[in-house]
Amino acid sequence: MPERIRVQVGERQVTLSHLGKPLWPGFSKAEVLDYYLKVADVLVPHVRRRPASFLRCPTGADGPLFFTHEAPDGLPNWIATAAKGKHTQVSLDDTPTLISVVNAYCVELHVPQWTADTGPDLHDRLIFDLDPGDGADMTTCARVGLLVHEQLRADGLTGVPVTSGGLGLHVYVALDPPWRVTDATGYAKSLAQRLTSAHRDLITFTRGARARSGGRVLVDWQQNISRATTSAPYTLRIRDAAPGVSAPVTWREVEQATKRPFAFTPADVVARITEHGDHALGLLEPAPY
């Protein structure tokens, strides 16, 4: 396999390199790029116009990892970037941009809950990051996810569940029109506190290993502050043995996961998109509240 090849991606020519390089055992850089090319049509709308950050693995998943807000060196000059504070960040607005940054080993994609159109003071999404402590697992997170879902419904909001790519679960809410960041963080903290009060043996809203001890799940509301970023729907996640993947799911699947945990491979996610489309479409076409 040649070390560098030039391919057509949409309306752009993109140079790809080291395609045979293994990033996981039995999973090459070419397969990573192929996954992102296959999911680009559903992934890009969830990250478009959001300043992206990346977890990079230039020597593979078992080598040093680097989290960066900066646009990687060597990107084509047609790629859109945006200044965010002292950083120059990529805006993942189309498939050629996505493939170019993944070729630079930006395997994990992270974005904030606001877009360049509104700026960091107005958020068009809420997120609750359900993070299990020692003794908790995906089944525990699924139980907590259902409780978050019920509370959101009681408050007149619609939650969209997405696996984290590991043992956790994300619950998103589309905000149309966007909320001020103070309102978004205030509401998210209030919901997490209410659930903690009602389920102290199961839930905490406080970060730290001690708070999550005893099989508790952190309902992390602080992912809603403007400087925070969260792994994007459909991104691969860098895990030791094989790539994880952040997969939108249905609430019926979350209910089933309280007894039988789900885990998805990249091939599973591609097949799900082919059969069902984007399970997170509600984030892009929100129902009124």
pLDDT at 287: 59
Percent of the chain with pLDDT over 70: 97
**Tens digits of residue pLDDT in 130-140:** 999 888 999 99
Whether the pLDDT of residue 288 is over 70: the answer is no
pLDDT of 37 higher than 70: yes
Whether 119 has a pLDDT exceeding 70, the answer reads yes
Distance CA 32, CA 27 (A): 7
pLDDT in tens, 245-266: 999 999 999 999 999 998 899 9
The mean predicted confidence, pLDDT, of the chain is 94
- Which letter, b or e, does each residue of 228-239 get, where b requires 16 or more Cβ atoms within 10 Å of its Cβ? ebbbbbbbbbbe
| CA distance linking residue 61 with residue 57, whole number of Å | 6
**Token pair for residue 10?**
């949409």
Pick from 23, 4, 3: nearest CA to 15: 4
- What is the arithmetic mean of pLDDT over 254-283? 96
Q: For 74-92, how does the pLDDT look when each residue is reduced to its tens digit (9 = 90+)?
A: 899 999 887 766 788 999 9
State the pLDDT at residue 2.
Answer: 65
Q: Is the dihedral of CA 46, 42, 164, 255 positive or negative?
A: positive
